[in-house]
Structure 1
């Protein structure tokens, strides 16, 4: 297995609070992407969180391959990045990731968002860690 690394430009792009579209390998079925929050790690992986009983977890337990596509928003020059590879499901550090990403994507000074995050504390979470096997990118 060849591992591709994320460039400094990739990491800068992925540090923005953009939505990623996560897809699991689905065999004969077409991919069913879902919008997710994510972050690139210091080890060059990309991670996101999900509930322990979600369809994506069931699919990843059958086939660990997945991809994440991130695109620049409308109004910016065209740019996207795709990371694909095997995943690992990890419970350790999942709540810390939820909190960190909530702070990145939401204004937690807003009482509604703070309450949303507090409510999420009652759920059980997993980290989905993608090991980049293939990295594709486009930028104008």
Structure 2
């Protein structure tokens, strides 16, 4: 579902803004997350096991993500929506891999955080694209 220019944008260490169904009378509130595109064309992210978004995803397993080029670059964004699955396996490996993509891992504070994820566990979130929208200048 992704075009080459989509994949080029998604390969960069940019934040994805994840939106899940809200509870009650609340409005959707996107959250910045790290992500990667899998070989199968899915997007995967991770979360701490007690994050409220996971409870909402268990109730309604659908989400959307938007990734945009930073200010100062030609406008380019990709929006993805589809069903979500949650996995207890692979989360720590994903978090470690993404930390290397997004962080300077020579910083001991960053290593401590990754060690906390390893000891406490994280949940892997996989979004299978059903719909992809995009804009590129």
- The answer to whether the superposition gives a TM-score over 0.5 is yes
Gaps of 5+ in 2: none
Question: Is 1:108 the equivalent of 2:97?
Answer: no
- Contact kept in structure 1, 2:92 and 2:117, CA below 8 Å: no
Question: Is 1:83 the equivalent of 2:114?
Answer: no
- Normalised to the residue count of structure 1, the TM-score between the two structures is 0.92
Q: What is the distance in 2 between the residues matched to 1:109 and 1:130?
A: 31
SS in structure 2 opposite 1:9?
helix
Q: Which residue of 2 aligns with 1:25?
A: 21
Q: What is the distance in 2 between the residues matched to 1:91 and 1:60?
A: 14
- Contact kept in structure 1, 2:85 and 2:126, CA below 8 Å: yes
Q: Which residue of 2 aligns with 1:49?
A: 46
Q: Point out 4+ residue stretches in structure 1 off by more than 4 angstroms.
A: none
Shift of 1:120: 2.3
Q: Which residue of 2 aligns with 1:39?
A: 36
- Determine which of 3, 12, 33 is the counterpart of 1:7: 3
Q: What is the distance in 2 between the residues matched to 1:112 and 1:6?
A: 35
- How many residues of Structure 1 are paired with residues of Structure 2 in the alignment? 136
Q: What is the root-mean-square deviation in Å for CA atoms of aligned residues?
A: 1.3
Q: What is the distance in 1 between the residues matched to 2:114 and 2:58?
A: 27
SS in structure 2 opposite 1:122?
helix
